[in-house]
Amino acid sequence: MKGETNRIFKLGTHTIKEASSYVHLGLKCDPFLRSTGMVNDACNKLRGTYLSIVNSGISPLALNPSTYIKVYNSIVIPKA
């Protein structure tokens, strides 16, 4: 990909391998700071949280819309 190079890091005479991914502030990152992996992980987490709520028996049709918004804002949005 554009901008990718083989980078070599040394500590004294020892070569240090670069990690293929790492976690920074709870976000999975790659060495080139591409956002696709982070976006995919966030989408999967949000989808899983939403499906857990829906499958728990809370039906969107049975709730008052304002209650549904409160549930969504208090459970799903903080996971993002």
pLDDT in tens, 8-30: 889 999 998 888 888 877 777 87
Please state the pTM of the whole predicted model: 0.49
Identity at 66, one-letter amino acid code: S
Digit-coded pLDDT (tens) for 31-47: 777 778 778 888 888 88
Q: b or e along 1-25 (b: 16 or more beta carbons within 10 Å of the residue's beta carbon)?
A: eeeeeeeeeeeeeeeeeeeeeeeee
